[in-house]
Amino acid sequence: MSKPIRVMVVDDSALVRQTLSDIFSSDPDIEVMAAASDPYAAVKKMESALPDVLTLDIEMPRMDGLTFLRKIMSQNPIPVIICSTLAGEGSEGWVKAMEYGAVDVITKPKVGTRKFFEESRIRICDAVKAAASAKLNRLKPRKAVAVEPNLSADAVLPKGRLREIKTTETVVAVGASTGGTEALRVFLEAMPENAPGIVIVQHMPEMFTAAFSQRLNTICRITVREAVNNDTILRGQALIAPGNKHMLVKRSGARSYVEVKEGPLVRRHRPSVDVLFRSAARYLGKNAVGVIMTGMGDDGAQGMLEMRQAGAFTIAQDEATCVVYGMPGEAVKLGGVEKILPLERIPLEVVRAAR
């Protein structure tokens, strides 16, 4: 049996420190090695031993989380997960945190229904497991921890036959998770102004997707924004699924559009890549290109196989350029991938395939 993932919780709220410690303690694969009220206390505790993963708040006394993150990543990189609130201005801080080297972003657990808390527990523990297997400079990656059984895309969109296609317009469906924010930046920055319409599921919390989309929109030649229900999929535009909502591709005649909806966690995620890919298989068939990028687990693997079986061209990011080669690796093993490419070569291949 592999050793548990050792986590250090850094947050100025005693309640949050206790809640996160309780959540981590409920998972046999995770061990809370320490908790600290601010970065100075964390450094003191890390003098004796380094954690495998660090969860870090942004707003704290004496030193803010972003400053501490930059120090960690420049001196002795370890996987860091930003754990903050859903405050609007905080989401901009999260964008900076990802640029500074954070592996993932999660929202602090809130008081709610039993189902809500259980979903939060699953997401938080999975984020830690993904971070522990992430590839960082000067950090040897751990073996990925297996995920528990989970719901398939059937929970949102049952399997069905391919609908008749009345257009030659191609839509690109993309799925990513851990490490995906940087991978998507590279991918979308390389897209020409007349790129095919793109729909994206990136595992991240609600409200963060809006800030993430806005950030990409300022640096890309194409338009990038958070998807709204019934948005038309257009050339020169990328729609990113809003956090905590599933996104599906639908068709009405020659028009392709997105449906944004509620639903259970699928493959332990909402939004789910499997849900997006299955809808692309059903409603687009050979008029779709599927791309699966870095991320832990198997979300998107089954959906990509269904896309390929429906005639779509499918691409997976290669292991060398992935932060976590989980999702692409599972899609390859399942037989759903037609081409495996390094990240920097995917944009050109997508444009070529869409022609």
DSSP string, 130-194: HHHT--BTTBPPPPPPPPPP---GGGTS---PPPPP-----EEEEEE-TTHHHHHHHHHHT--TT
Enumerate residues 6+ apart whose C-beta is below 8 A from 97. Answer: 58, 65, 66, 69, 82, 105
Give the span between the Cα atoms of 177 and 203, in whole angstroms: 5
* Helix residue ranges, H only, the chain: 14-25, 39-46, 65-75, 88-100, 114-132, 180-189, 208-219, 273-283, 301-309, 327-334, 346-354
Cα distance between residue 177 and residue 183, in whole Å: 10
Our answer to whether residue 177 is catalytic in this structure is: yes
The pair of structure tokens assigned to 139 is 């950090």
Burial class (CB in 10 A: 0-12, 13-18, 19+), 345: middle
299 part of the active site: yes
- List the catalytic residue out of 27, 38, 299, 318: 299
Q: What's the full length of the chain, in residues?
A: 355
Given the residues 37, 91, 133, 177, select the one marked as catalytic.
177
The active-site residue out of 37, 38, 126, 203 is 203
Residues marked as catalytic: 177, 203, 299
